Structure 1
Amino acid sequence: MTHLVSRKQSLTDWQRVQLAQLEYHDWHLGEDILLPDGQLIGEVIKVIWMADGFRATVIRSAAYPQIIVLFRGSSGVRKGDPTTWTNEWLRVNLPIGNAIINQVPDVPQELWTASKEFNHLLASYPQMTFFLYGHSLGSINAQFALANCHYPERISAAYLYEGPNLYWLLDAKQRQTTTLLRCQIFNYIDPLDVVALGYIDMEHTIGLLRVIDSMMTSPINQHMWGGYQFDKQQNLLLENDFWQNRRAQIDQRLITAVQKLNQNNDEWER
């Protein structure tokens, strides 16, 4: 049998990105999950699709006592349906962006659903360790689910891509949980992707921040891993001087400017 995902994470960076991209596929129970290079990941054992828009695919490894959860991201303008705008943008993405900029704990219902469903999975498979993957909205839901995780000792690793920094929305208890999981969470962002906002330093983040040494492409393609670059060993190319990058400075100035504007509005209302 083809070697599957192990606790030592046998997948390369490129393979993990390919696996995360499969979160956008409409999977069915019993289907095998295969990477483009033919590597078998496992079998779909549950497909979650909730009324508030939360979606995830649950995979069981055939060779190891492990569960892989693919948190689905936003369908977007290319593959969206009539619920995309209401469920994903108006109810979640736009409020999250506003909450991060204003640094107020305004959490949409879908994130609480993600936490509840993830903890239910953990309780349903007590002998299993878990791997999480999420992109964009999938990263948002995965970050919040990890912050509310009831069994942090059973998280092997989480690979998150192009999500905004949810740290600013967490309370003290949730931040404590993400601190416990810090070395299990790998949070990848492309500094040219406008969706991945709110990262202003290395400390106020969920997990270990990994900044991509990206190439510029079109805005939608940039968000969909289009700027990612790999070496011959399929390792992601990372940027070492992100905090000198103008994007980090722009995020800080944006947050500061909006907070000042809101403060001035409050003073006028008085």
Structure 2
Amino acid sequence: MKNYSDEERVEIAEKEYRDYKEKEPVKINDNKNRIGYISQINNKPTGEQSFVITDNYVPLSAPKKERESVKEITVLYRGSTGIDKIKEQTGDVYKDWVVNDSDMAHKISTSKQGKVSPQLTSSAETLKNVLKEYPNAQVSVYGHSLGSMNGQYAVSDLSIDDSKRIMGGYFFQGPNIYDTLTYSQRYIADSLTSLGKLNNYVDGKDLIPIGYGDGKPLVGRLIPLDSKKVGFTSQHMWGGYQYDVFGNVLLDTKDKVEMLEYEMKQRISGLEGLKSQFMVSGNGALSTAQEIFLDASEAKAITVGYKQSLQTEIDSLKKWFQTEITNANDLWQTSKSDAQYWGEHLDEYEELDALASEEVTKHSIVIEPVEEYEDSLFVLKTLEEELDNVLKNIEKAIESQVILDEELAKYLF
């Protein structure tokens, strides 16, 4: 099973808008890599348009033994037919935008649970049928826009046993349908998400992906993009996506510690793919420069991830410390005011002595806690400085290998 980069997965998803014929091969990377063959084309009355791609051409009409030989399947759910096609494809535009898109937008905005539009239901039946007819296959599901909703719903509507055969779900620029799912469907979606099998890519500059927000549950792990601003249509059609040298999407990781870990794993995965490329070109062997470069780059990916996580923690702690320092000072002022109220017959020094007899002092309430906060912050800052030094040494090691092999320069990050 090939581990595709984000850029390759976007290219796979883009194929859902092609007009394929049955038995036609599906290829990516300038036709260098074959995903499989179109074995089924769906064009249902609900408006669902989808492709079933098998590792070898094996249609549903094939004998059971042949269908049992299929090991890997990709299901592509097509998004809405463009409004600009209303004259040529009036029926498709009506089914997509009126019967399904508008209906689901209303249900998502009102959190209406348990009933979805016809196209989502038929898409779920498509996936169930694929799993039934190809009993030994592992399945990946892709969808963009309305196709994303179809894919989200299809994987969520599976039985527990069938869900175990989902290899991955990749949903792009579609609304968040989680609130419309039943409790049993949410259980399946949550289970697949917790296993890291479902990924929901969202470019926040696109107006179509509604229903997302801080802490809101969704089908899949949210992949928030650090995108560039382009025109409305292009924004929706992956036009704002940006990638690193390994084909991984650039992420909006601000205040999202879990995304830093994901980003680190993606970079390490990219390095593993690069190592495979080097091994092929080197007849199964790595040059010394390549080996040191790969090891140092992996160390850099891990260290950068830790440093970014640490910086996020430091920023959060600074805010918390400042709040606690303010609270401590307020508490001390309140304690003194209470002492003045209840001990109006005492002078200031007697009031402070009375507070101290109950171990209420400026030292215990303000000075001591503040010193602890500052000590903790100092430890974190020291660790951050140490990581900076480690990074500098790693980058020097990487640069020294690039001097020996200029080809490596293109893989710097």
TM over 0.5: yes
Cα drift, residue 77 of structure 1 = 2.5
Deviations 1:11-36 (A, max 9, x none): 21111101100101111111000114
Any unmatched runs of 5+ in structure 2?
Answer: 57-68, 257-413
Match of 1:147 in 2: 156
**Aligned residue number for residue 255 of structure 1:** none
Among 71, 79, 89, which residue is 2:77 paired with? 71
How do 1:100-119 residues align onto structure 2 when only pairs under 5 Å count? Answer: 100-105=108-113, 106-119=115-128
Q: How many residues align?
A: 236
Match of 2:91 in 1: 83
One-letter amino acid of the structure 2 residue matched with residue 12 of structure 1: S
Unaligned runs of 5+ in 1: 1-5, 244-270
Higher relative contact order (CA 8 A, sep 6+): 1
Structure 1 pair 64–123 and aligned structure 2 pair: CA distance change class (3 A): closer
| TM-score under structure 1 length normalisation | 0.83
1:27 aligns with 2:40: no
SS in 1 for 2:26: strand
Report the counterpart of residue 7 of structure 2 in structure 1: 14
Task: Give secondary structure in 2 for the equivalent of 1:73.
Answer: coil
**1:233, 1:179 → 2: CA distance?**
29
Asked if the contact 1:190–1:212 (Cα under 8 Å) also holds between the matched residues in 2, the reply is yes
Q: Secondary structure at the match of 1:225?
A: coil
Residue 135 of structure 2: which of 105, 126, 151 is its match?
126
State the Cα distance separating 1:91 from its structure 2 match.
0.5
Deviation, 1:85, is 2.8
Following the alignment from structure 1 to structure 2, what is the Cα–Cα distance between the partners of residues 202 and 30?
44
Aligned twin of 2:228: 215
Partner of 1:168: 179
Moved more, 233-242 or 153-162: 233-242
1:190 shift after superposition: 0.4
TM-score scaled by length of structure 2: 0.55
**1:264 — aligned with what?**
none
Higher percent of residues as helix: 2
Stretches of 4+ aligned residues off by more than 2 angstroms: 77-80
Task: Verify: 1:59 aligned to 2:53, yes or no.
Answer: yes
Inter-partner Cα distance in structure 2 for 1:84 and 1:226: 24
Pair 214,128 (structure 1): closer, same or farther in 2 beyond 3 Å: same
C-alpha RMSD of the superposition = 1.6
SS of structure 2 residue aligned to 1:118: helix
After superposing the two structures, state which structure 1 stretch, 72-81 or 156-165, moved more. 72-81
1:234 corresponds, among 231, 247, 251, to 247
Deviates more, 1:79-88 or 1:26-35: 79-88
Does 1:156 find its partner at 2:167? yes
Equivalent residue letter for 1:74: S
| 2:146 corresponds to | 137
Task: Determine whether 1:198 maps to 2:191.
Answer: no
Shift in CA distance, 212/64, structure 1 to aligned 2, threshold 3 Å: farther
Offset from partner CA, 1:173-197 (integer Å, 9 cap, x none): 1100101111210100100111101
CA–CA distance in 2 between the matches of 1:113 and 1:52? 7
Decide whether the 8 Å contact of 1:210 with 1:238 is kept in 2.
yes
